[in-house]
Amino acid sequence: MLNSITQENIKVGEIANGLPLTIPVYRLKGSGAGPSVYIQANMHGAEVQGNAVIYQLLELLKHTPLNGDITLVPYANPIGCNQKSGEFTLGRFDPITGTNWNRMYHDHTDLIPEFVEAHQNLDDSALKAAFKSTLLEQTHALLDGDAYRLTTGKRIALNLQALAHQADLVLDLHTGPISAKHLYCPMYARESARYFDIQNVLLIPEGFGGAMDEASFCPWWQLSQTLAQRNREFPIMVEAFTVELGSQEKIDLEEAKQDAKSILNYLNHKKVIDSNEYQPNQMTRYACYLKDYLAYYAPMGGMVEYTAPLGEPISAGTTIAKILRMEQYLSEQPLHEITLPVDAIPILHFASASVNQGTELYKFFTHYFEL
Amino acid sequence: MLNSITQENIKVGEIANGLPLTIPVYRLKGSGAGPSVYIQANMHGAEVQGNAVIYQLLELLKHTPLNGDITLVPYANPIGCNQKSGEFTLGRFDPITGTNWNRMYHDHTDLIPEFVEAHQNLDDSALKAAFKSTLLEQTHALLDGDAYRLTTGKRIALNLQALAHQADLVLDLHTGPISAKHLYCPMYARESARYFDIQNVLLIPEGFGGAMDEASFCPWWQLSQTLAQRNREFPIMVEAFTVELGSQEKIDLEEAKQDAKSILNYLNHKKVIDSNEYQPNQMTRYACYLKDYLAYYAPMGGMVEYTAPLGEPISAGTTIAKILRMEQYLSEQPLHEITLPVDAIPILHFASASVNQGTELYKFFTHYFEL
Amino acid sequence: MLNSITQENIKVGEIANGLPLTIPVYRLKGSGAGPSVYIQANMHGAEVQGNAVIYQLLELLKHTPLNGDITLVPYANPIGCNQKSGEFTLGRFDPITGTNWNRMYHDHTDLIPEFVEAHQNLDDSALKAAFKSTLLEQTHALLDGDAYRLTTGKRIALNLQALAHQADLVLDLHTGPISAKHLYCPMYARESARYFDIQNVLLIPEGFGGAMDEASFCPWWQLSQTLAQRNREFPIMVEAFTVELGSQEKIDLEEAKQDAKSILNYLNHKKVIDSNEYQPNQMTRYACYLKDYLAYYAPMGGMVEYTAPLGEPISAGTTIAKILRMEQYLSEQPLHEITLPVDAIPILHFASASVNQGTELYKFFTHYFEL
Amino acid sequence: MLNSITQENIKVGEIANGLPLTIPVYRLKGSGAGPSVYIQANMHGAEVQGNAVIYQLLELLKHTPLNGDITLVPYANPIGCNQKSGEFTLGRFDPITGTNWNRMYHDHTDLIPEFVEAHQNLDDSALKAAFKSTLLEQTHALLDGDAYRLTTGKRIALNLQALAHQADLVLDLHTGPISAKHLYCPMYARESARYFDIQNVLLIPEGFGGAMDEASFCPWWQLSQTLAQRNREFPIMVEAFTVELGSQEKIDLEEAKQDAKSILNYLNHKKVIDSNEYQPNQMTRYACYLKDYLAYYAPMGGMVEYTAPLGEPISAGTTIAKILRMEQYLSEQPLHEITLPVDAIPILHFASASVNQGTELYKFFTHYFEL
């Protein structure tokens, strides 16, 4: 083993019997010549495949020379991960409040005006270091403040941010329900999307919506914008992505190895590692703006056969689902074919065949284009 | 029976076996001399007491001369109302998505610029009628548009808005978990708060957060604001309140009668009815701004004895909870007394004795004042 | 359309808002020359494919001459069918009590001693008619008795039994979690198992465990046994099976057509229909006694990749799962290969990759043999 | 502090992220002159008050001279204790399977024939010791056998039995939903029921139904019976009770102190302690046989106001509930008064006001008598 790996368990909360909630943190030390990396998985309880990707990353990285430090966090959410309801994992939202676990990260952009005022005379490198320190200090200040001010989810999120803000490159590993692989990529980082072996790329605006990727890059993007208004060109120093690995409730170790390699392509491109071995596959990559990411809700209640191929472009008019309604077999048509209203790439569909009217049936890239 | 009551069942969705979700709508017809009223209950599944209040309102109103039309909707949410998880009703959020059922109403304020442009020459009465029509048309347009664009909750919400936008006075009956009575009152309508027999009043800003009361009054408040910018004084034509009746998971018919009378005090004040019988009780009413409504999260996981008296002012330093942690009886203090950080009125507390670190333990009025 | 189909909606309960719970019942009338049939689906909420099979049966049967009456009931459980928890359907047990919906049928075998005493002089045909009447009368007596004596699930079950006890052949359509097709077959009816296109057959004893198939055949088997003790040979007049169609949460209309044909093979064999078209496929069928149906519980908590091929024999020592445990990547082996302890046919596995220690990982036929 | 208390954390399982599930075990050492005691609490997740009783027992016992060893286990079920669904604790059954956590204990009575054959020549004291050893050995053999044979709940139950079988007196602390205090008492131990400050006593038969109390006393009762058949009088050496402390989801430390004293009355009677301080209150105690413990299911769906006083005798014809059904306010009577069919003592009622038809509304002692 070339690199040593260390483990630390951080406490992120306490459950009702008073026991601590902990998260394992794995660290590999780099030479310092390259950017540092933070990768986490399984913030949503059912989205387990990222843990397998982290396993494969550890297996690959322990033999790879490292320029930058890498921090890896599987099981990022110890509540969601263990919340069963029937056979499935009910880990998308806090079971008490309904709040999506991935919408509770803290937005630090309000720190920027004061920060810029105080530090604008620093050079780029010192400014970067100072801002990183500010983000970390503020994160710890929130964690160390009055305990009664933090919700369960916010405390977990802040603990993860305390790790993520140390890094230059942040990857949050998720999955869809039943889903093709896709990548959430901030618009400024679209060139980087070419290094992942992921065909479909969602280009998101730089605003904050509560997710880890946004919590990581928004302050840096905003800092860059603020300095630009003062006529200083300051690069966006952090890149962050949500990597959607496919379907939830599923572990596939071989596929995880491919996804680990896909991540290493990107890290190689960023000089975290130097290895000719990790090069992206040739493929047609498609991009779609978030505003064109169409949520298609079930137009009626029923039992659904999903027929659209995930990940591949299909034409308007294609049948995407057959909805069976056996309550009115005699009085109405029992089988309804649902067709796509526009040209699109189906990215994911609902995990169950049973839907209410208004359940999210599919999500589609529309107005997509080659990246 | 003086007034005739009519019932209509409106369809607000379909469940997975294809059966319709319906909501019962009761209507009483007034003379037309007074404002019209819309009252709904049980949007959150466990908050059932509002149905009993509607029952008592119907019992009282059928013998009371009416100036305005009154529409009453119990069981406003047929999914939440019937969603059991163990013995309790899991009806606060969509069980599929986690979205709070009371945050899915539609914000119509974006209609206002165009509306004002087109109708500003009308007199107040005609302008009110035109705006009411616009709100209703737009609500129906959304309901009648592409079925695939509406979530389950949005469809329910829009159907309820299609009823509420017909009214001048809107009351949404809720409860807290374990709670004292309190009233959500928009700041412009604070004088009206004196007519309810409710001691504690939360004054909320006029912005939109997704709830029924806001969906009802925001467009009218915004219309008034927009016209003020054009130097026309146009009164806010609609008042809307969320009435918090006490604790969830509980029916108390006698208490419901008192709350029905409290509502009739307000309707009498507004000339919906003319009855000397319905006069508010003398009481000290306290008010608190929403920004001072303190959510107090459990500073540790444990088993909680709640000791603060709900609804009454207490001083900083009062013990509000004892938290028992039996995992470390020997190694740490097993019993923790939690004290209030500021003077406050405890309004509600969590429904269960088991809390994680970060579970919302209490909500307090702080910086409260006499209304 | 050769046969007319009629629909009746039967009321099987009421939900909290007072609305009725109803079940659609479809009936086709036969000439009377053959046995009558009862088929139901979706007693467990997530097991939806049986509804599609009933759809395909209706499509096929409307053009097929019928000797016997056929009653078809999709959506047999209106609560389970619509109980969502997250994306999945939590329909295996009553969400309030935890009781398995398929363990609440009534055992009528206690009627037999008195029945035999009263009717033993009747000939076979009259005895059969009398016993059928007794079963139906007693079912209705329970339904019409004190309302406060029946649980929610028992009331649904009794309503379904009131339909099933009219039939000579009863099929209850279920699915496993992730599963190969298999058939629960009472031991006395093993010859009939050859007519279904189902490779794996579980031979169950004739005792009562609460399920629909048992509720249907146990009284008849027990009647036959009791008469045998009095030296009268009385055939078991009813056959009943639980047909496991594959995996839950999935609709596949083409597969449903194959399963409909498989059922028609059996009905053709039983002379419910006369059609050379419906003949079973040649295949090696395997059988296993219920006592040898091995539930294999997760020997450790972790994230599981399931590797055993479902439905096909495998040898002792085969790897059936890889369990990933990323909490102790450094301190223990993170990846565990789980091997099969005996020769077996894997029939089904858990629906999620996340398991606690002791979660049912697989079920296996062991000591299986060719049927 | 007179007595030293030791703590051990025992591992009873593993969750999906591989972390151990542990239970805290507190032990006090006695002189050996009296019987040993095992007390556990919170096997059902929402039934938390027993933890407070154990807290108060520890506070009282640390200053009390002890004849016998006492083992105290709060938080007996680390899964149930932390399973939230909305605000409430969904801890009555395994959320994956629906199995009641208190029905998974192991029945050891099948060991008895062989045991009696081998050890019947021992004297009473040696026979007791030998049987205790056998129960413990067999419990450990099951725990140490093939890991794949144990469900999650069975493993927890066996770990608790491994503690309970060491004791002569076993108390399992539970609560009802909304409930008066009551005691489950095996018929042979009815005299002991007089020492608890609990007015209502349920006399249960000595058969095994899966609960902790039964798992503890059944083998000893059965051993006594078996020896009686061989004309040897062998006392039932173990007493076990389920103590129902009142309502779930509630911590009341003062009430817990009273219940701790009530338990000490019993332990004093049994010579575990010698203290005149702990004497039962004078009260009329009522008893009811389990067969007469009437479950009263909601005769209709609706919203319920519970009106029966818990714990006190009421007469046939008393109104026990008002059921409001607002769906048919016009077409039927919206408010139904439900009356009690027989003289009874209401012991507990459902925790929520919303009930389906067939939900368990109340449980009543009927045909009760003075103890």
Residue C227, both tokens: 């008469």
- Asked if A22 reaches chain B (Cβ–Cβ under 8 Å), the answer is no
Tens digit of each residue's pLDDT (9 = 90 or more) over B176-228: 999 999 999 999 999 999 999 999 999 999 899 999 999 999 999 999 999 99
Which chains have 3+ CB pairs within 8 A of B? A, C, D
Element spanning A200, H or E: strand A200-204
In a mutagenesis test of the C interface, which of A352, A356, A362 is the best target, namely the one with the most C β-carbons within 10 Å? Answer: A352
Question: What span, in angstroms and rounded, lies between the C-alpha atoms of B303 and B320?
Answer: 13
- Asked if D8 reaches chain B (Cβ–Cβ under 8 Å), the answer is no
Closest residue in A to D85 (Cα) is A95
For residues C29 and C65, the answer to whether their CB atoms sit within 8 Å is: no
Q: What is the CATH number of the domain that holds B197?
A: 3.40.630.10
With contacts defined as CB-CB under 8 Å, which chain A residues touch D87? 96
The interface predicted TM-score of the complex, written ipTM, equals 0.96
Question: Domain count of chain B?
Answer: 2
- Average pLDDT over chain A reads 97
With contacts defined as CB-CB under 8 Å, which chain A residues touch D17? 75, 78, 81-82
Tens digit of each residue's pLDDT (9 = 90 or more) over B79-101: 999 999 999 999 999 999 999 99
End-to-end CA distance of chain C: 38
- Asked if A360 reaches chain C (Cβ–Cβ under 8 Å), the answer is no
With contacts defined as CB-CB under 8 Å, which chain A residues touch B152? 297, 356-359
- Sort A113 into a burial class: Cβ within 10 Å, 0-12 / 13-18 / 19+: exposed
Closest residue in D to C325 (Cα) is D18
Whether D299 and D163 share a structural domain: no
Residue with the two structure tokens 């329900």: A177
Q: What is the CATH number of the domain that holds C346?
A: 2.40.50.100
What proportion of chain A, given as a percentage, has pLDDT over 70? Answer: 100
With contacts defined as CB-CB under 8 Å, which chain B residues touch C40? none
pLDDT at residue A242, rounded to an integer = 98
- Of D217, D223, D206, D361, the C-alpha closest to D297 is D361
Residue A330, both tokens: 């005699």
Whether A40 and A130 share a structural domain: yes
- Is the pLDDT reported for residue D1 higher than 80? no
Facing residues of C360 across strands?
Answer: C297
Q: How many CB atoms lie within 10 A of CB D141?
A: 10
Whether B338 and B194 share a structural domain: no
End-to-end CA distance of chain D: 38
Whether B274 and B305 share a structural domain: no
Residue with the two structure tokens 């999210």: A360
Residue A141, both tokens: 């200040």
Residue D286, both tokens: 């009522």
Whether D244 and D144 share a structural domain: yes
Interface of C with D in 52-81 (CB under 8 A): 79
Interface contact B86-D88, CB threshold 8 A: yes
Whether B167 and B313 share a structural domain: no
Interface of D with B in 90-149 (CB under 8 A): 90, 92
For residues D200 and D181, the answer to whether their CB atoms sit within 8 Å is: yes
Question: What span, in angstroms and rounded, lies between the C-alpha atoms of D40 and D50?
Answer: 8
In a mutagenesis test of the C interface, which of B7, B19, B21 is the best target, namely the one with the most C β-carbons within 10 Å? Answer: B19
Quote the Cα angle for D163-D169-D171, to 5°.
Answer: 75
Nearest-CA distance C346 → chain A (Å):
18
Average pLDDT over residues B109-121: 96
Question: What span, in angstroms and rounded, lies between the C-alpha atoms of A224 and D297?
Answer: 66
Nearest-CA distance C249 → chain B (Å):
12
Element spanning C130, H or E: helix C124-144
Specify the DSSP class assigned to residue D128: H
Whether B170 and B76 share a structural domain: yes
Element spanning A57, H or E: helix A49-61
Whether A186 and A332 share a structural domain: no
The three-class DSSP label of residue B76 is coil
Average pLDDT over residues B236-261: 98
Interface contact A324-C350, CB threshold 8 A: no
Q: How far is CA D243 from the centre of its chain?
A: 5
Residue C238 covered by a domain: yes
Question: What span, in angstroms and rounded, lies between the C-alpha atoms of C85 and B322?
Answer: 33
Candidate from A18, A327, A355 with C-beta closest to B327 = A18
For residues C280 and C150, the answer to whether their CB atoms sit within 8 Å is: no
pLDDT at residue C13, rounded to an integer = 97
- Is the pLDDT reported for residue B1 higher than 80? no
In a mutagenesis test of the B interface, which of D23, D62, D88, D254 is the best target, namely the one with the most B β-carbons within 10 Å? Answer: D88
- Asked if D329 reaches chain C (Cβ–Cβ under 8 Å), the answer is no
Interface contact A327-B154, CB threshold 8 A: no
With contacts defined as CB-CB under 8 Å, which chain B residues touch D352? 46, 84, 87-89, 249
Interface of C with A in 241-270 (CB under 8 A): 249-253
Tens digit of each residue's pLDDT (9 = 90 or more) over B40-54: 999 999 999 999 999
For residues A320 and A338, the answer to whether their CB atoms sit within 8 Å is: yes
User: Which residues does chain C have with pLDDT short of 70?
Assistant: 1
Residue C25 covered by a domain: yes
Residue C288 covered by a domain: no
Nearest-CA distance B93 → chain C (Å):
11
Closest residue in A to D78 (Cα) is A17
Tens digit of each residue's pLDDT (9 = 90 or more) over D324-371: 999 989 988 999 999 999 999 999 999 999 999 999 999 999 999 999
Question: What span, in angstroms and rounded, lies between the C-alpha atoms of D40 and D74?
Answer: 6
- Asked if D223 reaches chain C (Cβ–Cβ under 8 Å), the answer is no
Whether C222 and C191 share a structural domain: yes
Residues ≥6 apart with Cβ < 8 Å to D339 = D316, D317, D318, D319, D320
Whether C41 and C152 share a structural domain: yes
Tens digit of each residue's pLDDT (9 = 90 or more) over B303-358: 999 999 999 999 999 999 999 999 989 988 999 999 999 999 999 999 999 999 99
- Average pLDDT over chain B reads 97
Question: What span, in angstroms and rounded, lies between the C-alpha atoms of C242 and C255?
Answer: 18
For residues D106 and D158, the answer to whether their CB atoms sit within 8 Å is: yes
Which chains have 3+ CB pairs within 8 A of D? A, B, C
Specify the DSSP class assigned to residue B356: -
Average pLDDT over residues B17-31: 94
- Of C370, C366, C369, the C-alpha closest to C316 is C366
Specify the DSSP class assigned to residue B208: -
- Is the pLDDT reported for residue A1 higher than 90? no
Closest residue in B to C23 (Cα) is B17
Residues ≥6 apart with Cβ < 8 Å to D144 = none
pLDDT at residue C188, rounded to an integer = 97
For residues A80 and A139, the answer to whether their CB atoms sit within 8 Å is: no
- Asked if C19 reaches chain B (Cβ–Cβ under 8 Å), the answer is yes
Interface contact D356-B177, CB threshold 8 A: no
With contacts defined as CB-CB under 8 Å, which chain B residues touch A358? 13, 150-155
The DSSP secondary structure of C47-62, one letter per residue, reads: --HHHHHHHHHHHHHT
The DSSP secondary structure of B228-296, one letter per residue, reads: HHTT-------EEEEEEEEESS---HHHHHHHHHHHHHHHHHTTSB--TT--PPP---EEEEGGGEEEE
Question: What span, in angstroms and rounded, lies between the C-alpha atoms of A345 and D93?
Answer: 43
Residues ≥6 apart with Cβ < 8 Å to C298 = C304, C323, C350, C355, C356, C357, C358, C359, C360, C361, D148
With contacts defined as CB-CB under 8 Å, which chain C residues touch A330? 5-7, 26
- Average pLDDT over chain D reads 97
With contacts defined as CB-CB under 8 Å, which chain B residues touch A151? 297, 358-360
- Of D249, D241, D256, the C-alpha closest to D179 is D249
Q: Which of B233, B250, B284 is the last residue of a domain?
A: B284
Amino acid B297 reads Y
Backbone angles phi, psi at B308, to 5 degrees: -80, 135
With contacts defined as CB-CB under 8 Å, which chain A residues touch C3? none
Question: What span, in angstroms and rounded, lies between the C-alpha atoms of D231 and D250?
Answer: 49
Q: Per 3-state DSSP, what percentage of chain A is helix, strand, and coil (rounded to 5)? A: 30, 30, 40
- Sort C269 into a burial class: Cβ within 10 Å, 0-12 / 13-18 / 19+: middle
Average pLDDT over residues A192-208: 96
Nearest-CA distance B86 → chain D (Å):
6
In a mutagenesis test of the A interface, which of C303, C349, C357 is the best target, namely the one with the most A β-carbons within 10 Å? Answer: C303
Question: What span, in angstroms and rounded, lies between the C-alpha atoms of D368 and D371?
Answer: 9
pLDDT at residue C370, rounded to an integer = 97
pLDDT at residue A302, rounded to an integer = 97
Residues ≥6 apart with Cβ < 8 Å to A139 = A106, A108, A158, A161, A162, A165
Backbone angles phi, psi at D102, to 5 degrees: -95, 25
pLDDT at residue C349, rounded to an integer = 98
With contacts defined as CB-CB under 8 Å, which chain D residues touch C19? 301, 327
With contacts defined as CB-CB under 8 Å, which chain A residues touch C326? 24, 51, 54-55, 74-75
pLDDT bracket for residue A249 (50, 70, 90):
very high
For residues D73 and D25, the answer to whether their CB atoms sit within 8 Å is: yes
For residues B13 and B145, the answer to whether their CB atoms sit within 8 Å is: no
pLDDT at residue C18, rounded to an integer = 84
Residues ≥6 apart with Cβ < 8 Å to B302 = A14, A16, A17, A18, B323, B324, B325, B336, B355
Interface contact D14-C97, CB threshold 8 A: no
Q: Which of B267, B284, B301 is the last residue of a domain?
A: B284
Whether D201 and D319 share a structural domain: no
Which chains have 3+ CB pairs within 8 A of C? A, B, D
Candidate from A17, A86, A96 with C-beta closest to D96 = A86
Q: Which of D256, D283, D310 is the last residue of a domain?
A: D283
Whether C177 and C312 share a structural domain: no
Nearest-CA distance A24 → chain C (Å):
6
Amino acid B199 reads Q
Q: Name the residue range of residue A13's domain.
A: 5-283
Backbone angles phi, psi at B351, to 5 degrees: -85, -15
pLDDT at residue C3, rounded to an integer = 87
Interface contact A96-D75, CB threshold 8 A: no
Nearest-CA distance C260 → chain D (Å):
30
- Of C328, C314, C330, C326, the C-alpha closest to C353 is C326
